Amino acid sequence: MVFNSYTFVLFFVLLLALHNFPFSWRTKKINLLGASYLFYALWNPPFILLLWLSTVVDFYMAKLISVTEEKTRRRLWLAVSLVLNLGMLSYFKYGGFLLENFTVLMNGLGIAFQPAKPDIILPVGISFYTFVTLSYTIDVYRRKFKPESSFLDFALFVTYFPHLVAGPIVRPEDLLPQFKQPTKASSEQMVWGLFLLTLGLFMKVVIADGWLAETSDLIFSLPFPVNPLDAWSAVLAFSGQIFCDFGGYSTCAIGVSLCLGFKLPENFRYPYASIGFSDFWRRWHLTLSTWLRDYLYIPLGGNRSGLFRTYMNLLITMLLGGLWHGASWNFVIWGGLHGIFLCVERMFRNWSGKRRKATAATGEIVLQATVIPMRNKNVSNFLLAMLTFFLVNVTWVFFRAPDFNKAILMLLCMFGVITQGPMLLSTPDMLKIAIVTIGLILCHWNMRDRSVKDLFKSLPWWFSGTVWAAMLILIILTQKSSGSFIYFQF
């Protein structure tokens, strides 16, 4: 089931009614758990068994970890959780990829090896709920908190349908405390939740699918070179599409949850206004970037063991972050490019910091912050944001292209190395992409330190109502052309 379907509208209305009936709190939680399993089962019912297995094993492993003092046994129980979760993720998501690369390696060594093609179906959302359950057992192992005593609450934490399929990636502290006391949305929460649901659907249905997807899909599917203008148009179209699709899903999830009285963590913070790649990862897919930081980058040593180790830890983290997105070398390259940009940015900051110290040591007075007018500083920051946006778009080529060869071909076309490709996109298509791109940049830049809620509170009610009604009308008119969310494949 997807948010952008009439089936979900019926499902959500019925669930809201059940959640607001005068049932006991335990009954309401059972209703939510059952609805979450139904929401997931409509994709492929047998995969509920994997979700159930992960839930049961991690619930009891955390209990064993908590009551065991012996370090070896605690590590053993943690290993059971890690092996089960990462093993299932590796088999279903990376089994075919590993076998394919092993076959290439064997044939490269002159060993004739041609295995049967594996028939593996990727369970929807497995990358997301695996990280959710792992964060729980790891935090219990670290004695960050005691294990959850209620299996119902833990199962609901793992399976809660708004975040289950494509995030946000929740931590135990995000949801478990909210399940302890009876919760029902206030009138303000209900209105704001419905508005966020509408906004998320507008981003997905109207902008991502209605305006951008067709152009991006067309150009990236072609086996031959295209005109540089077409290549850039396709990349910019995908840049807007991926944000409006994934950001739209997260906005829907937060809105749906708010209508039920629960708060999910923020997942996007106007990423196309980022000043540098460190800033980008503080604004793009926040729950993944913080998960990678806390459970991978810091355990590897973070920035505590010298510059070389810091750079290596950044690269390893981003390479694995790229691989998390999919079983393809393109995703590894995408993550590696982000890792390289983060390292270069850190090198520049270290160099500029040493230079300022050296300048101060010579007795020179440096007051850049006061000498540079604020207007010029804003202009320079905006230019840095545009440079970041440009480089992010270069990396998106590897994220979107079906294979490495197509990614290289697109880059060669974008930068004019290959110019003999035909002109395929019409002027209206390019104008539409330009409007969305400029609109996103201006919106993100002006909203980078604000929230949508604060903005709409400052507007007259009639204006906010008109915008809301316009979004609803456009969603209904465009709904037929809307497809599944991009991040469901991860």
The answer to whether 252 and 196 are in contact (CB under 8 A) is yes
Do the beta carbons of residue 444 and residue 273 sit within 8 Å? yes
276-285, 454-463, 480-489: which has the highest mean pLDDT? 276-285
DSSP 422-483: ---S-HHHHHHHHHHHHHHHHHHHHHTTS-HHHHHHTS-HHHHHHHHHHHHHHHHHHGGG--
Q: Look at residues 386, 488, 410 and name the one whose alpha carbon lies nearest to residue 129.
A: 488
Half-sphere exposure of 202 (CA within 13 A, CB side): 15
Instruction: Please report whether residue 429 resides in a domain.
Output: yes
Establish if 1 belongs to a structural domain.
no
The amino acid that residue 97 corresponds to is F
Would you state the pLDDT for residue 96? Answer: 76
For residue 165, tell me if it sits in a domain. yes
151: pLDDT confidence band, cut at 50, 70 and 90? very high
Residues 348-375 pLDDT 10s? 888 776 666 655 555 443 333 333 454 5
- Give me 337's structure tokens: 């490019």
Q: What tens digit of pLDDT does each residue of 87-126 get?
A: 988 888 878 777 777 777 777 777 776 776 777 777 788 8
pTM over 0.75: yes
221 and 350 belong to one structural domain: yes
Q: Are residues 322 and 265 in the same domain?
A: yes
Find the angle CA(86)-CA(91)-CA(92) to the nearest 5 degrees.
105
Cα–Cα distance for residue pair 273/389, rounded to 1 Å: 8
Mean pLDDT of 138-144: 93
Instruction: Say how many residues make up the chain.
Output: 490
Question: What pLDDT score does 103 carry?
Answer: 75
Residues 206 and 326 in one domain: yes
Q: Is 55 found in the same domain as 129? A: yes
Domain shared by 422 and 382, yes or no:
yes
92 and 196 assigned to the same domain: no
Higher pLDDT: 202 or 308? It is 202
Tell me if 136 is assigned to some domain: yes
d(CA 241, CA 243): 5
Same domain, 162 and 208: no
In a domain, 404, yes or no: yes
Quote the CA–CA distance of 387 and 379 in Å, as a whole number. Answer: 12
**Range of weakest confidence among 49-63, 94-108, 241-255, 316-330:** 94-108
- When pLDDT is averaged across residues 76-81 and rounded to a whole number, the result is 93
Residues 247, 166 within the same domain = no
Residue 334: name the closest of 408, 409, 414, 394 by CA: 394
Higher-confidence residue of 125 and 238: namely: 238
**117 and 137 together in one domain:** yes
Tell me what pLDDT residue 401 has: 93
Residues 65-77 have pLDDT tens digits of 999 888 899 999 9
Indicate the average pLDDT of the chain: 88
Q: Give the pLDDT score at 470.
A: 94
DSSP 8-state code for residue 139: H
Evaluate whether 152 touches 175 at the Cβ level (below 8 Å).
no
CA dihedral 282, 283, 286, 292 (to 10 degrees): -40
Do 109 and 197 reside in the same domain of the chain?
no
Q: How confident is the model at residue 376 (pLDDT cuts 50, 70, 90)?
A: low
Instruction: Report yes or no on 286 lying in a domain.
Output: yes
Residue 168: asked if its preceding bond is cis (omega within 30°), the reply is yes
The alpha carbon of 345 is separated from its chain's Cα centroid by a whole number of angstroms, namely: 22
Same domain membership, residue 130 and residue 229 = no
More confident of the two residues 371 and 442: 442
Closest listed residue to residue 391, CA positions, set 436, 334, 431: 334
The residue from 163, 285, 325, 338 that is catalytic is 325
Q: Is residue 60 part of a domain?
A: yes
| Among 150, 184, 218, residue at a domain's last position | 184
State the residue range of the domain holding 20: 6-184
Q: Per-residue DSSP letters for 315-384?
A: HHHHHHHHHHH-SSHHHHHHHHHHHHHHHHHHHHHHHHHHHHHHHHHTT----HHHHS-HHHHHHHHHHH
* Domain end (from 152, 184, 216): 184
Number of compact structural domains in the chain:
2
Per the rule left: phi > 0, alpha: psi between -120 and 50, beta: everything else, 346 is alpha
> What is the reported pLDDT for 378?
82
459-484 tens-digit pLDDT: 888 898 999 999 999 998 887 766 77
| 333, 482: one domain | yes
Could you tell me if residue 448 is inside a domain? Answer: yes
Any catalytic annotation for residue 338? no
Who wins on pLDDT, 44 or 102? 44
pLDDT (tens digit, 9 = 90+) per residue, 160-176?
999 988 879 999 999 99
